[in-house]
A and B are shown apart, each in its own frame.
Chain A
Amino acid sequence: MSDLVLETRNLVKHFPLTRGIVFKKQYGAVRAVDGVNLELRRGETLGIVGESGCGKSTLARMLVGLEKPTSGDLFVQGKNMSKVGAEERRRGRRNIQLVMQDPYTSLNPRMTVGDIIGEPFEVHPDVVPKGQRRAKVQELLELVGLNPDHINRYPHQFSGGQRQRIGIARALALNPEIILCDEPVSALDVSIQAQVINLLEKLQNELGLSYIFIAHDLSVVRHIADRVAVMYLGKVVEIGTEDEIYESPTHPYTQALLSAVPVPDPKLRGLRDQIVLTGDVPSPANPPSGCRFRTRCWKAQDICAEQEPLLQIRDKSGHPSACHFAEVRDVVHATE
């Protein structure tokens, strides 16, 4: 078990919907995350994919402590974060750091790069003694491929890709074991994306980091992830190794999602098994009964409305899927 650096058990986040100002009355809840179980091992990259509103960002915010879970447990290196005291939670939180999506808004424009990367040291003064902080910040700048002499510059003097490197350096400051990357490259141009992905992989190899990599770009996730969890309306609907998810998906939503990704090869045009879903994602304030995907699913039967399919291994594919009718369908490769 020492291998397990992070675990969530039935993690739930409901945002209450209230009426009234003085006497608040709750009339419902947005079920942003509704019972998520995940495990992350040392040195591993877990990809989380899903479309907007699936709860992946709320999940991320809970993991880094920006949001308190409504219920459920989060274990960081075996310690239950909801059971320990505030001080220990703060110290535990050091172990999970965050790289955000937008390099333009995630850095305080009024602080120098040195102050931004050095802020974690001021918050946790015991990590690096005062006199060595500047040198440590420069070391971090070098590690992410930036010029250490630029320590006194302001964020607006850097390009998007460089800013994302600054964000990565800040995340590395406290020597965390886990880095949570929330759409780290989706705001960047294609030619810059590759640079940042390469940097993340290099850092993982050098420092033995574990990544949780949240993205909507399925090809990027495929490139970097060892295991992948697919989320829909607050729940994980399928989880497995990168190969299992991409080569033999069993949940209809995963299949639709994968088939919708345009493949950069014109020879495959019209040959792919493309599933075009109908309708929109239902509101998380009022999710469908039973299986949440059933309103858009072409396989849906009566049982899907009555009984919620559990995330479990169902067929010979060998990985868990939350569908009563899970079966492998290869959608990534061309069908002749």
Chain B
Amino acid sequence: MSDLTSAGAAIGGAPVAGDGPTTDAPGGSGKERSASLWADARRQLVRDPVFMIAFLYILVVGSMAAFPKLWTSQDPRNCDTARSRIAPSGEHPFGFDILGCDYYSHAIYGARPSMVIAIMATTAIVVFGGVLGLLAGYYGGWVDTIISRVMDIFFSLPFLLGAIVFLTVIKRQNVWTIAMVLFLLAWPTIARIIRGSVISSKDLDYVHAAKAVGARNGRIMFRHILPNAIAPMLVYATIVLGSFVAAEATLTFLGVGLQPPAQSWGIMISTHQVYFLEDPWLLLFPCGLLVGTVLSFILMGDALRDALDPKFR
């Protein structure tokens, strides 16, 4: 069987130059910087239509969150109960909500809290979970034992129940507290991913080679081990962004997340759930935006995983 794999290698990567002391420089350009894994991945992603559509969608949602004024001149707080639940029209593409506010501008402004919560919580778990995972995986022994047991404790908390209890107990439900709760309940997963990939890469030959040269722990961790963990971390972080957007909406829908008069997609859904049969668009617009965002993040994560996996090359 060995022959087949090596035949595959011979098929896949034709070596560039002859073996031996022959120095045949193609063009002899000393400055050429040839394709790295990241450059290859970028090229592959740009050619992937699914990734590009998802990426553009996220760009749109991101700009809605960052610069809502680009997308609407209406003020979502300019309400008039007389216009309650008026159907979509040319000037008001999403119509009016139950309070008679412009629904389109509400949807635009509603993107911000979802995105801010998702980005804050994801950044926090990547940094915190990443560092703990790296330490646990690299040093092993009692460091690993302590970190792993703490992770186990957090793992044992059911996500939704844990979030509801936390938010009910602290009673202050704003962007910060929700991001905090999501972070607290989700960091062990990413720490475990990093720990796993650190453990698998710390015994690689080239890590031993660096140690044999006399490299110190910091260098080995950041130069040789972490780069291997970044790809799975990036993939997971992308998918987690999507699930945090969904989690924010879920918590808000259940009444323990953001509260009116704050604006978010979750609030739009929870406020209008009862009108689905009469005016389905009140539910369909925010749900569509939400599902599109979550799906885009997940598809991006999938495409990233494929692009960053050297085995697919």
Direct A–B contact in the complex, CB atoms closer than 8 angstroms: yes
Binding site for B on A (CB under 8 A): 21-22, 61, 64-66, 90, 93-94, 97-98, 100-102, 105-110, 112, 119-120, 122-124, 142, 145-154, 156-159, 161-162, 167, 170, 173-174, 192, 195
Whether the pair A106, B16 counts as a contact (CB closer than 8 A) is: no
User: Is B204 among interface residues, defined by CB-CB distance under 8 A?
Assistant: yes
Whether the pair B205, A120 counts as a contact (CB closer than 8 A) is: no
Q: How far is the CA of A146 from the CA of B19 in the complex (A)?
A: 8
The A-contacting residues of B in range 1-50, CB under 8 angstroms, are: 13, 15-17, 19-21, 23-25, 28-37
Whether the pair B28, A149 counts as a contact (CB closer than 8 A) is: yes
Whether the pair A151, B15 counts as a contact (CB closer than 8 A) is: no
Q: How far is the CA of A195 from the CA of B21 in the complex (A)?
A: 9
Given contacts A98-B209, A123-B219, A157-B13, contact A152 B214 (CB under 8 A): no
CB neighbours (8 Å) of B13 from chain A are 156-157
Q: How far is the CA of A313 from the CA of B92 in the complex (A)?
A: 101
How near does chain A come to B38, taking the closest CB pair, in angstroms? 8
Whether the pair B212, A66 counts as a contact (CB closer than 8 A) is: yes
How near does chain A come to B241, taking the closest CB pair, in angstroms? 25
Whether the pair B23, A147 counts as a contact (CB closer than 8 A) is: yes
Q: How far is the CA of A157 from the CA of B33 in the complex (A)?
A: 12
Other A-B contacts than A109-B37, A170-B213, 15 sampled, CB-CB below 8 A, are: A22-B145, A65-B212, A93-B212, A100-B209, A108-B223, A112-B33, A122-B219, A147-B23, A149-B30, A152-B33, A156-B13, A158-B15, A158-B17, A162-B19, A195-B20
Given contacts A65-B212, A90-B214, contact A195 B19 (CB under 8 A): yes
CB neighbours (8 Å) of B15 from chain A are 157-159, 162
Whether the pair A120, B34 counts as a contact (CB closer than 8 A) is: no
User: Is B77 among interface residues, defined by CB-CB distance under 8 A?
Assistant: no
Interface CB pairs A-B, < 8 A, 5: A119-B210, A142-B23, A147-B24, A154-B34, A192-B19
How near does chain B come to A162, taking the closest CB pair, in angstroms? 6
User: Is B69 among interface residues, defined by CB-CB distance under 8 A?
Assistant: no
Whether the pair A106, B25 counts as a contact (CB closer than 8 A) is: no
Q: How far is the CA of A320 from the CA of B150 in the complex (A)?
A: 56
Whether the pair A98, B204 counts as a contact (CB closer than 8 A) is: no
Given contacts A21-B145, A107-B206, A109-B37, contact A162 B17 (CB under 8 A): yes
Q: How far is the CA of A309 from the CA of B17 in the complex (A)?
A: 53
Binding site for A on B (CB under 8 A): 13, 15-17, 19-21, 23-25, 28-37, 145, 204-206, 208-216, 219, 223-224, 227-228, 310
Whether the pair A152, B227 counts as a contact (CB closer than 8 A) is: no
Q: Tell me which of B19, B28, B204 has the highest count of chain A C-beta atoms within 10 A of its own C-beta.
A: B19
Q: How far is the CA of A336 from the CA of B25 in the complex (A)?
A: 55
Q: How far is the CA of A148 from the CA of B24 in the complex (A)?
A: 10
CB neighbours (8 Å) of A159 from chain B are 15, 19
Q: How far is the CA of A93 from the CA of B23 in the complex (A)?
A: 32
Whether the pair A119, B34 counts as a contact (CB closer than 8 A) is: no
> Is chain B's binding surface mostly helix, strand, loop or mixed?
loop
CB neighbours (8 Å) of B212 from chain A are 64-66, 93, 97-98
Q: How far is the CA of A313 from the CA of B275 in the complex (A)?
A: 98
Top 3 A-B pairs ranked by shortest CB distance?
Answer: A145-B21, A159-B15, A106-B205
Whether the pair A154, B36 counts as a contact (CB closer than 8 A) is: yes
Whether the pair B213, A150 counts as a contact (CB closer than 8 A) is: no
CB neighbours (8 Å) of B224 from chain A are 108
Q: Tell me which of B16, B209, B211 has the highest count of chain A C-beta atoms within 10 A of its own C-beta.
A: B209
Whether the pair B227, A157 counts as a contact (CB closer than 8 A) is: no
Q: How far is the CA of A90 from the CA of B216 in the complex (A)?
A: 10
Whether the pair B30, A151 counts as a contact (CB closer than 8 A) is: yes
Q: How far is the CA of A148 from the CA of B29 in the complex (A)?
A: 10
Q: How far is the CA of A151 from the CA of B23 in the complex (A)?
A: 12
How near does chain B come to A143, taking the closest CB pair, in angstroms? 10
B37 nearest CB neighbor, chain A only? A110
B201 nearest CB neighbor, chain A only? A108
B219 nearest CB neighbor, chain A only? A123
CB neighbours (8 Å) of A124 from chain B are 213-214
Q: How far is the CA of A105 from the CA of B33 in the complex (A)?
A: 22
How near does chain B come to A85, taking the closest CB pair, in angstroms? 14
Q: How far is the CA of A100 from the CA of B19 in the complex (A)?
A: 19
CB neighbours (8 Å) of B25 from chain A are 147, 149-150
A174 nearest CB neighbor, chain B only? B213
How near does chain B come to A13, taking the closest CB pair, in angstroms? 16
CB neighbours (8 Å) of A152 from chain B are 30-34
Contact of B34 among A21, A102, A153 (CB under 8 A): A153
B27 nearest CB neighbor, chain A only? A149
Q: How far is the CA of A150 from the CA of B28 in the complex (A)?
A: 8
Q: Tell me which of B30, B219, B223 has the highest count of chain A C-beta atoms within 10 A of its own C-beta.
A: B30
Whether the pair A157, B34 counts as a contact (CB closer than 8 A) is: yes
Q: How far is the CA of A109 from the CA of B208 in the complex (A)?
A: 14
CB neighbours (8 Å) of A170 from chain B are 209, 213
Whether the pair B31, A97 counts as a contact (CB closer than 8 A) is: no
Whether the pair B211, A66 counts as a contact (CB closer than 8 A) is: yes
Contact of A110 among B33, B208, B227 (CB under 8 A): B227
Q: How far is the CA of A64 from the CA of B204 in the complex (A)?
A: 16
Whether the pair B213, A123 counts as a contact (CB closer than 8 A) is: yes
CB neighbours (8 Å) of B227 from chain A are 110
